[in-house]
Structure 1
Amino acid sequence: MRIVNNKDILDLFPDAKLIKNNDYPENSQIIETKLGKIAFPVASLTERELALLELFDVKTVANDDYNPWQNYLMEKGTQPAIVKKVRFLYLKVNKLAHDLRSSWEELTHSFFTNSSQFWLTDELFIIVDQDCLLTKEDFTGIISAIDSDFDCQTSLQIGLIWETADNLPEIFNEERTIFATDSQQLDQVSTIPERAFSYYLNQANHNGLLKAYRKKLERNESYPQLIVELYRVGGNLSKASKQLFLHRNTLEYRLDKLRDDFGLNLRKVDDLVFALMAIRSK
């Protein structure tokens, strides 16, 4: 049998599959042939078949290239374990020398105790952050220092905080789209709320993320009213506490709790507007 295309290979190896979009199946031997990348499940290969593969002009791709989070977010794998909550960090890295990438990744990873990371494109680096502790101010200092060390230019978008039950692949796709949209001049480090108003104002049909956050906020029946009243008084906490018949300290506590649980600081205009857009989303 003369092999002339991918179908011929798949006829010989029924369990093999073509690789698209760098989707590397787990526990497979990835072979880069002249016909493209093909994954061969190790468990299904005999010694004779392994020997046959050596006849091709191939290059074996290391299994380190496989990342379960990348596979899952591209809707091609199962959800990896999440301890409690998760957020996605989107880093666009320009002018990073290729031979410095490994060192750059190692330094970047050192700021987290519970995270996964992968390159989605040559310039877009994703961190799956399960600590959710570092603030915008923290990241601003970190990114500036790293850029200085590696003579590169990085912009970062901090994603919202999510949980296991949320539709993370859909959310990831929408957050990534928001990051890719140059809607306004922003700081080197930005957040979803800072980008949301301009984005959703021009993308009326793309409101899946807002709907998802409305459901999360509505779990606490006091949050929607708190958000509306705080917006009506222009973020003035004293006026809001009077309108809500709450002690100022109680309001402060709820704002802190909302910030810790959802990553929204309603003392900031962008975050308050985003929360209002979310609870009013249809």
Structure 2
Amino acid sequence: MNFHQLKRIYPEAFLSEQPSSDQEWVSFPFQQQWIQLKKEQRTASELALLELSLAAAEPKKEHRYSKWYAFLFEQASAVPTTAAVCRVIQFELLKKDRNFDDDLWLQSFKSLFDNVLEAFFLNDHQGILIQDHQKEQWGLEEITGILHTLDDDFSVRSACYVGQYWSVASTLPEVFHEEQRIFAKEKNKGKTVVTLSTAGLSYYIQDTLTASPLMQQLKQQLLSDPETKEVIEAMWQSQGNISLAAKSLFIHRNTLQYRIDRLQETSQLSLRNLDDLLLCYLLTLE
């Protein structure tokens, strides 16, 4: 698909030199520029499909013949036998300059992980790294911090999806393509590192929430006060621990207690109750 074909389907689409920071627009890399498209009335599945279509249309990077590439992208029947269990780590360069050295960046990125089976660019912005199963080397916070350092060193902005470990079987390509769709939807939400645990809840329920008049009405009532969202997120991150939540918000525990009580009075939902807390948290997801 080229831009003129896309323009006939989405008349509001336009090209820009940088991705949009406006939450009402979604940005797709396209031939050293960015396609900007209005999010309104676009389903998550539609945006994910469009992401994959545009990525496929971009010229692929030259890379050596790979059984992994053939297995994951070309429906090759031969299952790679180099590993019994692996995970696929997707990466995308959301911003880079014209002097960017792809090979040097890829070597630096590979050095973050042990037991790398293969890594290559799929196009000018996106690529994957396949890692054999091992004891965890880095946690989510460590990977995020290292990527921020790498971004500073190369003057780029990147994001990656750290996939789950899966058995290397004929079902792996289908599972991987679903991970691609999750990353396509979640990568522009400000997180450097995306995982199934951090993005799965939002990805799988967002369309259902958006389509529900009841949930939208409850969301409007619940989040009319800007402070409420911060309180809900802090309580969720602390797993309902009021003291930890108050510390993360830099407020006194009694102040947080008061806000929780006030929210319960207006909504009949208590953030001390885990079922209510989960429901409230779902409503904060964009």
What TM-score comes out, normalization by structure 1 length?
A: 0.46
Larger radius of gyration: 1
What TM-score comes out, normalization by structure 2 length?
A: 0.46
